[in-house]
Amino acid sequence: MNTTSFLHAAEREIINGLLETGTSRRKSEEQLFNRFAYFINEGMHKQGLLQEQAFDVYADTVLSAIEKIRNGSFEGRSSLKTWMYQIFHNKTVDLLRKTSTNKYSVNRTLSITDMLTQLSDPSKSVVQHMAEQTDWEALRQKLTQIGDNCQQMLLQWADGCSDKEIAETMGYKTADVVKTSRLRCLEKLRQLYKPTNQQ
Amino acid sequence: MIDDKMQYIDDFFEGRMSGDEVSRFEEKINSDPSFAADVAFYLSSKQVARELAAEEKKKRFKELYTSTNGHHVEVKTGKVRQIRYAMYSALAAAVITAIVWMAIYRNDSPTDYANRYIKDHHSMISVTMGKEGEIQKAADLYNKGQYTAALTAFENIISKDSTLFYPLEYAGLAALRIPDYEKALRYFSRLEKFHAYSNPAVILQAITLMKRNQHGDKQEAKALLKRVADQDLDGKEDAVDLLKKMD
């Protein structure tokens, strides 16, 4: 990531913190949220959003920014503020468009599309077709029932943490131990989910 | 006990396979539906977990926002760090002075300012997932830099329904990028009649005139920018900034 010329020292520090693990990362996530939290007021006053809507749009902006920073898509070609504001603006436009055309769906479905990039097109469509059969609500409910440790481990894994990082934050000896435990947790989730899914 | 299949799937998605192994993995997906279902389960579980992780963070942000009553919290820094920041600030101030000096003596034209504005704000246009397939395709053309094709696509959409806000804005932007100034001005002027939450029509008319920069355009653009600033219209901050630069 080339985060050189346009970044303020404090912004660089936040970005470096986001690339770390545990407390440092958490602290940096909160610093990032605080840094541009005034966008929420802008969303309310300039775009006429309700406070709740403006908060949601801004929180989604921060989450999206964190993901992009961690996966290296933020190249630092503009200031963090300009980049974040562009994401915020796009999300606001999306929300306004959805609201004005009554497309605001409460029961939205999830998609695994962005995780399929490693597969070739034929395999991708087979897996995508299978994933369309997923009962998202049931799977989500089972995930909250597999125990705190398992849940935390899977959440951190899904949030982009490596097994080594999970080992550090959750106090496991090695990344290998985490990998074994994580796969056990997935297996446990599958066993819990299966009966519901087969009804 | 860990299912070998789960380990096998994990190895693939964590990038622990060689080229041959990857090919065999993909063949298995295509020939074994039960295996494909396992892969789908693995990814669906990750997606649901990702969603829950995001919700947890949002909860934390909510607490943070509520605790500060919506006010921005300055993060206090240590003394050494403050000195470092002061040094950076001094260096930054020197660089900024140099940039300002260069900007003054470079004497940028309204066209330069307009191009910079367009680059900063409209290099890409927002594409929404959903049923708006036609708008999405037209926006894709715009984002690929195919402005003439994008304009035709947006005009097709407008011809079917002239009450749509974004196709009109985007048609104007595509015309501006071509550039077809007359058309851009026509679309932005039509856009101005919409009562939308956020309507950049006036600042976009000003930007079009600045980019064209023919006799009288600069004055007319400044009048429009002043209107944006005085009436607190969409793009007020930029309008104030552009007015200062063009004084």
The strand ranges marked E within B135-228 are none
SS (H, E, C) B101-120: HHHHHHCCCHHHHHHHHHHH
Domain ranges of chain A: 9-103, 112-193
User: Does the pLDDT of residue A140 top 90, yes or no?
Assistant: yes
- pTM of the complete model beyond 0.80: no
What is the percentage of chain B residues whose pLDDT exceeds 90? Answer: 38
Query: Based on the number of CB atoms within 10 Å of its own CB, is A180 exposed (0-12), middle (13-18) or buried (19 or more)?
Result: middle
Instruction: Round the average pLDDT of chain B to a whole number and report it.
Output: 83
- The answer to whether A7 touches A79, Cβ cutoff 8 Å, is yes
User: Does the pLDDT of residue A114 top 90, yes or no?
Assistant: no
Distance, in Å, from the CA atom of B4 to the CA atom of A41, rounded to the nearest integer, reads 51
Query: Residue written as tokens 């125990």?
Result: A147
Query: Residue written as tokens 């830099």?
Result: B145
Q: Vertex B192, ends B189 and B195: CA angle to 5°?
A: 155
Query: Based on the number of CB atoms within 10 Å of its own CB, is B158 exposed (0-12), middle (13-18) or buried (19 or more)?
Result: middle
The per-residue pLDDT for A27 is 87
pLDDT tens-digit profile of A42-54? 888 888 888 889 9
Decide if B64 and A34 are in contact by the 8 Å CB cutoff: yes
Distance, in Å, from the CA atom of A183 to the CA atom of A172, rounded to the nearest integer, reads 15
pLDDT tens-digit profile of B35-54? 999 999 999 999 999 999 99
> Cβ contacts (< 8 Å) between B130 and chain A: which residues?
98, 103
The per-residue pLDDT for B75 is 44
The per-residue pLDDT for A21 is 79
The strand ranges marked E within A57-185 are none
CATH number for the domain formed by residue range(s) A9-103: 1.10.1740
Decide if B48 and A59 are in contact by the 8 Å CB cutoff: no
Cα nearest neighbour of A118 on chain B: B13
Cα nearest neighbour of B233 on chain A: A46
The per-residue pLDDT for B129 is 43
- Check if B3 contacts A (Cβ < 8 Å): yes
Best of B45, B59, B129, B168 to disrupt the A interface by mutation (most A CBs within 10 Å)?
B45
The per-residue pLDDT for B105 is 54
A123 — phi, psi (to 5°)? -65, -40
> Cβ contacts (< 8 Å) between B126 and chain A: which residues?
89-90, 93-94
pLDDT tens-digit profile of B129-142? 444 578 878 888 88
- Chain-centre distance for alpha carbon B234: 16
> Cβ contacts (< 8 Å) between B50 and chain A: which residues?
155, 158-159
